[in-house]
Structure formats: C-alpha cells, structure tokens
Amino acid sequence: MKKWISLCLALLLCAGLATPACAAGFSDVPAGHYAAGAIGKCVDKGVVSGYNNGTFRPNATLTRAQFCVMLSRAFFASYIEKYKDPIYISSGIFWANYQAMMANQALNNTSFADDTDNVQEMNRSISRYDMAQLITNIMTKQGFPASSSDKSAAIAKITDYNNIPSRYRDAVANVYALGIITGYADGSFGGTVTMNRAQGCVVIDRMSAYVQSDTAPTEVKEWSPDPASNSQTPAQPTQPTQPAQPTGTPNLPEIRCASCGYLMRAAGSTQMDFNNGGAGGAFGMCDTCNVWYLCQQCAQYTADAGFELHRHQESCASGGTTVPVEDFYSPSYRGSLYYQQLKNVTLTGNYRQDILTVAASQIGYRGSSNSNQLDGSRGGGSHTEYNWALNFYGESAGAWCSEFASWCARQAKIPTSILHSSYIACPNNFGGTAHAWSDTVFAGGSYMPQPGDLMLICHSSRAVSPSDSMDHTTIVESVSQNGDRVTITVIDGNSNNSVRRHDYTYNASRGMTGFFVAPDYP
C-alpha cells in the first residue's frame, strides 16, 4: 500500500494530469508546433491533461507510468471503468490503469512488466524500445499488426537493427512498418533514446488513426504533423449467440471419459455414470480416474461461481459433449492477465514439463479477501481461482498452496490416477511415492528430486509421516548441489500470499523436515 501511495503522489507531481485544457490554450504549444494537433486530440479525448498554469510542457520527459496511463485511457477505457470498483481503487489512484494494461497483455515483454508497484522503476523515462513494445502489444490486440513483408522492408531500412536487443527486434520492425515510430535521418532507430510528452501524444494519435479508419496514417515522418484521422466508427464485433436449449429427446451418443476412456454414458441413454466412486451420486466425476467433467450444454450456460451441482446433473440428462472441468474459470479470473497467460500455454504431454509451464504462467497471482474478485491482482486474502476451481471437492478457502499445485496438475491434464488433488499439504493425499530427506542422494539414499515433483515442507522439526499434514506445498522446478549446499528452486502458491518462483537452500546432511512426492509420471 505504501508503494502505491508513493507512486500516486509521484505521478501527480510529474505527470501533468491536472486541469484539462484546450490545446490552443497552452502557452507553450504554438499553432505551428509539430505535435499541436495530436496534443489537442489527446486532451479532448481525456488521454492527457495540461498543468494548472496553462502549460503543457511538451518537451518534459515522458515516464513509463505516464505513458501507461495515457495508453490505457486511449484504448482500454472500458477496462479502467471495470477496475474502478472501490475494492480496487483503495490500491492506488492509477491502479485501474495498470490493471487495464495487464488484462490486455499490453505490458508483455517490456523491461518493466513486473515493476508496476515499484515507484522508482515506473517513474523512469520510457525508451523508444519499450514504447515500441507497448505499441506492438496494443496494435496486435486491436487487430493491426504489420505484415511480415512490411516488417522485412522496415528491417532493411534500420541501420542499427543488428544492435537492437533481440527481445525488441520484432516490436521495432512492427512500429517502423506501421509508421507509428520511424527512424532518424541516419536510418537508426535509437531505441535507448527517451521520449517526451509531445511525442507520446503523436504516437497515440497515429495509433488511433489506424483503429478509427482501419488504414495506415498517411504521414509517417518522424514527429511530423499528425494525419487527419477518419472519423469512421469501426464495426462492432457481433455478439456470440447462446446455443439453443435442446428440445425433445435427442439421439444421444455414447460418452467416454477423455482421460481414461471409461464409458460414462452408453449410446441412446440419458443416464450419466457419474457417481464419484459410489459416494452418493455427486455430479461430474469419472468414477474410474476421478477426473471431473461437465457437459458442454452446462458449460455454455454457467456464468457464475455459485452454481449448484444438482442443477447441472439435471441439465446433463439432455446430452451434449462432455468437456473437462478445467475449462471452467471464475468470471473475474477470465478477465485477468493470468488467464490470458494460461491460455497461451501449449501442453506437450510431458507432465513434468507441463505442470511447471502452467505454474509459471501464474507467477505474481495474489490471493483475495473477496471471493468474487479472483483476478489475482489483490493481495491479503485466502480466496483464489485455484480454490474456486477445486470447490467441486467441497473445499473451503484456506491455505491455498496445495490447491494451487492441484489446480496446476489439472490444467496440465495430468490424470488424478497419477497426481491427486488435495486442499491440504498431506503427502498421501497427492498419491505417488513419498520420500523423506533421508531417502535422497544428498543423505546417502537413491532418490533424486525431479522437476514436477512436489515438495511438502514442515516449518518445524517435529516427527512426521506421509499421512500427516505438512505446512506448505511446492512444485519442484530444479535441483542443484554445491558441496554441502543443496538448492531447490520451486514454484508455489500462497508464498507471501502470491504465486512465486524462489529457492529453498538446505544443508545436505541436515536437510528439511517433510517429504518429496514423486508422482508416477510416464
């Protein structure tokens, strides 16, 4: 909270977000100024404001924070409104702007993607490299990436292209090809050069010209007068239609569990064999491999976190193709950065690799004190998307490290016959083989912890068995040894109330209290 308050004060002092004014009224922006038109449009749209003394300060350095605020206002205004709920606003005046940017993946691959709560980093001036990356992210999101041929042509014109860091090369080629930021007289891009407020307005105006007119701006000289934008309103995307409710008695196909092939409904039958292994008719679980399923009809019509299983049991008599319960996410999570990163994960079928890839996509997610706000942006609570998804097991919100590991396994499509789900840090609950430190090669045993194993830790040196509950659950990412020092890198949930990647270091001879769970991965 202190960081956010400090950031807010710093932004208010230097961002020029005070009293809005007409561009013609700025004493330091004469009519012939190259950015006068762009500044006027940005002010009129509420993207940026002038200062109380009637100046705009066009040559003032533009910071990372200021440009993020401007971009979010220009392109993600509806997202800003979404995050203006009082529960969010308490985190900082510009918190909603950053959340809007993150929700649209606009900060990806920038040098400050993980520093939005770091006052010093966000108040640094923004370079042309990072500006190019932000623009590329947003223009791609808006449906206006440069073509491969145009980027190739741009690369041929950029004299310092080979000196551009590899992470920025595509973004630089993209903005150059689009004409939003081009090069200097000597053909160089000059990516380390910082930007000013006037240039920020020109850039946003050029981006807006694409989005509004569906064509490239006609003028692409470096910081030249902006083009007159076409006021045509882009066509709104059509809303997806809801599937029609089934009528009559359909000719129902057989349905088999996608995980193990178990026959869950015979052809023509309306009875689904979901009985939770004989535990009273609970809906949704294959009684052979314990993987949860819902029918697609139910998936289409479920929009909230408080649905009842019995209602879905009735709906499923209507038939339809089953889909894994892993395809269900809470409404607030679906609008989050972490959901987008999860959707970008490509599963390989290598369970050890896949569970870690899924886990890494969630790094930075934080628990919430509000069970309806599970987008991972608010720290200080025990409610998480991972608990919500595993609520099918009748869990209540609690220490969510085990729920996170279980959720990652389900998202990685690991059958529960290999790695069970658990809401407590009990080795036996997860299945597999439990190894104490004394079983490891570090203590003279034969077991070597592997990536994708779980490490369940006790924070005290009490005597424990695999049937006991430990204090914390982690997913092992890597293991290394240097003399008597053993370092285990993990990804875990509920580590300082967030998902983190960090190291545990142990003395090989003493080790740790707890167990490694080694699933029977193929």
- Are the C-beta atoms of 38 and 202 separated by less than 8 Å? yes
Per residue in 188-212, is it b (16+ CB within 10 Å) or e — as a string?
ebebeeebbbbbbbbbbbbbbbbbe
- Count CB neighbours of 178 within 10 A: 25
Range of the domain at 298: 255-327
339 plus 322 within the same structural domain = no
Q: Are residues 38 and 175 in the same domain?
A: yes
Does residue 417 form part of some domain?
no
> What does pLDDT average to over the chain?
75
**Residue 444: count of CB within 10 angstroms of its CB:** 10
Dist. CA 292–CA 260, nearest whole Å: 12
472-482 and 293-295 strand pairing: unpaired
Strands of 177-296 (E only): list them.
255-256, 263-265, 293-295
85-99, 219-233, 280-294, 439-453: the lowest-pLDDT one: 219-233
Measured at the CA of 8, the angle between CA 180 and CA 23, to 5 degrees, comes to 45
User: Is residue 450 predicted with pLDDT exceeding 90?
Assistant: yes
For β-strands 472-482 and 433-435, DSSP reports them as: unpaired
Phi first, then psi: give them for residue 256, nearest 5 degrees: -115, 150
Residues 176 and 264 in one domain: no
The verdict on 121 and 134 lying in the same domain is yes
Domain closes at, from 308, 327, 346:
327
Mean pLDDT across 392-402: 61
Residue 307 has pLDDT above 80, yes or no: no
Same domain, 40 and 171: yes
Listed range (235-244, 413-422, 505-514) with the worst mean pLDDT: 235-244
Q: Mark whether 161 and 23 lie in a shared domain.
A: yes
Residues 25 and 142 occupy one common structural domain: yes
Question: Residues 93-106: what's their mean pLDDT?
Answer: 77
Collect all residues with Cβ–Cβ distance below 8 Å to 286 and sequence separation of at least 6.
257, 259, 260, 262, 264, 274, 292, 293
Of 140-154, 167-181, 375-389, 461-475, the poorest mean pLDDT is in 375-389
Whole-number Å distance between alpha carbons of 26 and 59: 13
pLDDT of res. 117? 63
Least confident range from 292-301, 335-344, 383-392, 413-422: namely: 292-301
Q: Whole-angstrom Cα distance, residue 424 to residue 406?
A: 10
Pair 500, 446 in one domain? yes
Higher-confidence position of 280 and 513: 513
Q: Are residues 158 and 30 in the same domain?
A: yes
pLDDT band at 50 (very low <50, low <70, confident <90, very high): confident
The least confident of 14-28, 299-313, 316-330, 469-483 is 299-313
Residue 268 confidence class, pLDDT cut points 50, 70, 90: low
Which of 224, 139, 234, 131 has the alpha carbon at shortest distance from 178? Answer: 139
Burial 72-83 (b: 16+ CB within 10 A, else e): bbbbbeebbebb
CB 197 within 8 A of CB 190: no
Of residues 354 and 210, the one with the higher pLDDT is 354
Most confident of 108-117, 249-258, 444-453: 444-453
Torsion of CA 266, 328, 362, 91, to 10 degrees: -170
Determine the pLDDT at residue 511. 92
Are 345 and 314 contained in the same domain? no
pTM score: 0.45
Examine the fold and report which residue of 411, 445, 464 is the final residue of a domain before the chain moves on. 411
Residue where a domain stops, chosen among 327, 353, 377: 327
| Predicted pLDDT at 126 | 92
Same domain, 157 and 27: yes
| Mean pLDDT along residues 313-327 | 40
CA distance 200 to 71: 9
Q: How many domains does the chain have?
A: 4
Residue type, 512: M
Residue 473 φ then ψ, to 5°: -115, 135
Token pair for 407: 């959720």
23, two tokens = 């561009």
Does 494 reside within a domain? yes
Pairwise CA distance, residues 343 & 351, whole Å? 17
Query: Does position 291 have pLDDT exceeding 60, yes or no?
Result: no
Band of the pLDDT at 391, cuts 50, 70, 90?
Answer: low
Q: Rounded mean pLDDT of 90-114? A: 75
**Stretch 104-132: mean pLDDT:** 82
Structure token digits, residue 491: 């990804």
pLDDT at 77: 85
Among residues of the chain, what percentage have pLDDT more than 90?
36
* Same domain? 318 vs 444: no
